[in-house]
Structure 1
Amino acid sequence: MNRKKIINQATSYTTKLLRNRFGKGPEAVSIYLCEQCIVLHLKNFLSPVEKFLLSQEKEQAFRYTRELIMKSMLPELRNFLTQQLDLKVVDLYYDWGMYNASGVIVGLLDYDLYSQSEDYKGKEQLHEYIMKATTELQKPPTWIDSWWINSKTLFILRKGTTILLEKELISMGYEHMLRMTKGKIEKALLEQETNLEPLFNKKIADLYVDWSFENDHSMIMYTFEE
């Protein structure tokens, strides 16, 4: 299947799926496809109930509700990407930019994980920033790579950061709380320890993080303004 057809079908399916599950679909879904991953970037995606929860500072309730829906929805999305679009998805990640009503769903594709992607200006410095920020919260990554999906979207993939305490919390059923707390802290550390705007001469629009605890992989994704 050609690239344009994959993007068109994925856009249509994702919009309908989100509308059916959440009661309201995003205003727009932009889909980016490269060798390593497919990115579904959701814009203006916030229902009236979710707006109310956030206005009442009920972030935990907001995240818990979305977590439940996403957990039930992701297998269906993965099946569509794999069976209908013939994309070999090995992992799915997602995160929300709550206060600007954005979100991302990322499907990591079956590519040669340990073949480093091509170099770009600032890559080595970026990895140093990420290593420093990561080490303050968890184990230093055993492996890290990054690539530009397009001129506005930078993706970072890490492996081997999960610590023993986190594994125990997950086994005790606290994965949701761990994910929410860790996400908040890591975003704060990334904002504190990285200085990407002068490095890439671009203004950051959003930052997303997520973990595949089962595979001990984690993603960071930056979007930049035009």
Structure 2
Amino acid sequence: MSEVKEVQSAIAGYIGKVLRESFGKGPISVHTTWAPPYFCVHIRDFLVPMEQILIQKNEGGKVEELREMLMSVLYADIKSELEAVTGREILDIYTNWNLDQRSGVIFGTVDAPAESGVVEKWQEELNRVVKRAGENKEGLSAFVNTKPLNHRVVLIERTNVLTPVERQLLEEGHAEEIEAAKTKLVKSIIEETDLLARMPREVIDPFIIWDVDKDINYLIFVCSSKEPETK
């Protein structure tokens, strides 16, 4: 456990430093979850003055676009540093931002076997609810796997999330349009299924990540550190 904590602390320190050097201002809080074959870095209170101005002018899309451009340049260095710290190959790295809350995640996959564990009833329920909602909303039968990465981060991984029409559009170069449309669908699924209330703890920050080339959708729910009230 101490080794995991050391890894998480090293990653958090590095990410905070990289963001500060690259954006001119770092986040107030960086919390890392290292749970191979996944990792998740939750970033809080991160918004530079110029981004704040753009958001006030309803230009949040430009902020996300600029961040995506800059992060794409940083991915190689982040991958290299994380591999040096963990001794594991980093397969994929993604980012997603919640500008309204000045937060974000750097999420990725690791070349490591998944640990087997007991599947709790709430996980099975979420799998059923999300799968059924996807069938109704998107007209597809995705494979759904709910996994707590720790007591504060819940991951829902959906695979086989593209319809034949969407796959054709992807081949024609419409990845961004597909992601935007499907993100709206997933947000409606989260709302209509009351997904947040089904979590074991209060959700403070939800994120939606797509890898349409690999036909995968990740839903990441960062939860409160407070213990849930007993009923």
TM bucket by the smaller chain?
0.7 to 0.9
| Change in CA separation of 1:166 and 1:34 when aligned onto 2, cut-off 3 Å | same
1:94 shift after superposition = 2.0
Paired position in structure 1 for 2:21? 20
| Change in CA separation of 1:22 and 1:172 when aligned onto 2, cut-off 3 Å | farther
Paired position in structure 2 for 1:78? 79
When structure 1 is superposed on structure 2, of 122-131 and 72-81 the one drifting more is: 72-81
Paired position in structure 2 for 1:121? 121
1:220 shift after superposition = 0.5
1:57 shift after superposition = 1.6
Paired position in structure 2 for 1:90? 91
TM superposition score normalised by structure 1: 0.86
When structure 1 is superposed on structure 2, of 132-141 and 87-96 the one drifting more is: 132-141
Paired position in structure 1 for 2:48? 47
CA contact under 8 A between 1:91 and 1:212: conserved in structure 2? Answer: no
CA contact under 8 A between 2:190 and 2:196: conserved in structure 1? Answer: no
Structure 2 SS opposite 1:26: coil
Q: Distance in 1 between matches of 2:26 and 2:105?
A: 13
Paired position in structure 1 for 2:189? 189
Q: Distance in 2 between matches of 1:128 and 1:172?
A: 33
Q: Distance in 2 between matches of 1:28 and 1:127?
A: 31
Structure 1 SS opposite 2:138: coil
Paired position in structure 2 for 1:205? 204
Q: Distance in 1 between matches of 2:65 and 2:90?
A: 25
Letter in 2 for 1:21: S
TM superposition score normalised by structure 2: 0.84
CA contact under 8 A between 1:208 and 1:222: conserved in structure 2? Answer: yes
Q: Distance in 2 between matches of 1:60 and 1:173?
A: 20
Structure 2 runs not aligned, ≥5 long: 227-231
| Change in CA separation of 1:110 and 1:60 when aligned onto 2, cut-off 3 Å | same
Letter in 1 for 2:138: L
Structure 2 SS opposite 1:29: strand
Paired position in structure 2 for 1:132? 132
